[in-house]
Amino acid sequence: MNETSMPLKGIRVLELGTLLAGPFAGRLLADFGAEVIKIEPPDKPDPMRQWGKEKDGVGLWWPVQSRNKKSITLNLRTVEGQTVFKELAESSDVVIENFRTGTMEKWGLGYEDLREINPRLIMMRTTGYGQTGPYKDRAGFGSIGEAMGGIRYVTGFQDRPPARVGISIGDTLAALYSTIGCLTAIEERHKSGEGQMIDTAIYESVFSVMESMIPDYLLADYVRERTGNILPGVAPSSIYRTKDDTYVVIGANADAVFSRLTRAMGQPELAEHDDYKTHLARGKNQKELDALIERWTKTLDAKHVLEALEEQGVPSGLIYSAADIVKDPHYAARDMIVNTEHPQLGEFPMPGVVPKLSRTPGQIDHAGSVKPGEANEAIYQSMLGMTSEKIEQLQARGVI
């Protein structure tokens, strides 16, 4: 794609913070053409550089998180570093930070400080508990936000302790909400000419997706519990073992879809059975219905179960591992595994861009920086007009 058609071209982002929530938001903006400048302390690189599995000494998570970004170093704990940052912020559109509440203010770089320099600046702030409230000063990682937000309580099986989702879902949700806030603030800035602060709490981002948990409790005196692979009262919607000891997922809880499922099973009479013909009836008899369906799936290999379900238009599928994903033709057809060149590892596979825009889609240009500060000279010269001598002096003093 021509770079000029990227939808966020012209938006300059200064990305501070480490690990997940802030940097993931930066990745999303960079995917669609924003100039994202990743800033790391010269003496303490982002720990994400070493996260995940390694190959030839390279952390395999880092290129996914830092793709399309430019890397510079700057020590914000020094007065000189704070001054340089203010100069960078003067000609930027967005600042992303996910430090503990009050850290930026301690450095003289809080929102009120920066908006005096650049009234159009948008500041994305992601913390465990938000910028206000009695818990605002507490340390809060994604795992704590997941616990407080409610998702840990309902994840897993009732006879076992609460479980976690196998990814950093709290940080990811917070990054998504922060990005929505950023794009909303950019749009509003077209009208007002002013920036604003985006205050995203991880626990709130998790809580926001918890469906009807609160009215269930306050209005129906019902506390959602861990229920494994089902949602109580929503049936059939679970996993079912097949003859070849594979699990298939079947979602047929709508009346019309359930009718199609019964035809795939060769038992169309079930669609009119008093115990199963309505949503409420299926919910009341969920356990018996799931057992009945699994008796059918166990008579066939997974391939034939899925063929029968697909023929009748019943939503179904396998539970994919990474090995399944990389060989799936649909992933390939939609460019969901993209190979980009890595300076040390060569061809590097990573998830494609989401969502798909029809006219101005995003793209992955490069796999990010191998070493911190790779773009120091280019950024400091182009944005601040620093000479090579000045850059060397700042480096010698540990500022960059």
Q: Does any domain span residue 145? A: yes
The DSSP result for 190-224, as a single string, is: HHHS---EEEEEHHHHHHTTSTTHHHHHHHH----
Q: Supply angle C-alpha 140, 12, 125, rounded to 5.
A: 20
- 306 φ, ψ to 5°? -65, -35
- What are the mean pLDDT values of the chain's consecutive 10-residue runs (400 residues total)? 80 94 97 98 92 91 96 97 98 97 96 98 97 94 95 96 95 98 98 98 98 97 95 95 97 96 97 96 97 98 98 97 97 97 95 96 95 95 95 94
Q: Residue with structure tokens 């049936």?
A: 235
Strand ranges in the chain using DSSP code E only, listed in sequence order? 12-15, 35-40, 54-55, 58-59, 70-73, 94-97, 122-127, 197-201, 237-241, 247-251, 316-318, 337-342, 346-351
Residue 60: domain span: 3-209+333-396
* Domain end call among 294, 320, 346: 320
Do 303 and 337 share a domain, yes or no?
no
Say how far apart CA 244 and CA 6 lie, in whole Å: 47
Q: Residue 19: what pLDDT?
A: 87
Q: What is the pLDDT of residue 136?
A: 95
Residue entry with tokens 């300076």: 343
* Domain of residue 282, CATH code: 3.30.1540.10
- Kindly provide the residue ranges of all beta strands, DSSP E only, lying in 22-164, ordered along the sequence: 35-40, 54-55, 58-59, 70-73, 94-97, 122-127
The answer on 23 and 133 residing in a single domain is yes
Q: Tell me, yes or no, whether 190 and 283 share the same domain.
A: no
- β-sheet bridge partners, residue 128: none
* 114 phi, psi to nearest 5 deg: -75, -35
DSSP string, 146-199: HHHHTTTTTSS-TTS-----SS-HHHHHHHHHHHHHHHHHHHHHHHHS---EEE
Which one-letter DSSP state was computed for residue 231?
B
pLDDT at position 5: 84
| 8 and 128 assigned to the same domain | yes
Tell me, yes or no, whether 345 and 310 share the same domain.
no
| 166 CB-contact burial (10 Å; exposed 0-12 / middle 13-18 / buried 19+) | exposed
One domain, residues 75 and 101: yes
- Residue 388: phi and psi, rounded to 5, are -60, -35
Look at residue 4 in the predicted model and tell me its pLDDT. 64
As annotated, the active-site residues are 171
Q: Are 319 and 336 in contact (CB under 8 A)?
A: no
pLDDT of residue 3: 60
CATH of the domain at 194: 3.40.50.10540
Confidence (pTM): 0.94
Query: Do 350 and 293 lie in a common domain?
Result: no
* 96 assigned to some structural domain: yes
Residue 134 covered by a domain: yes
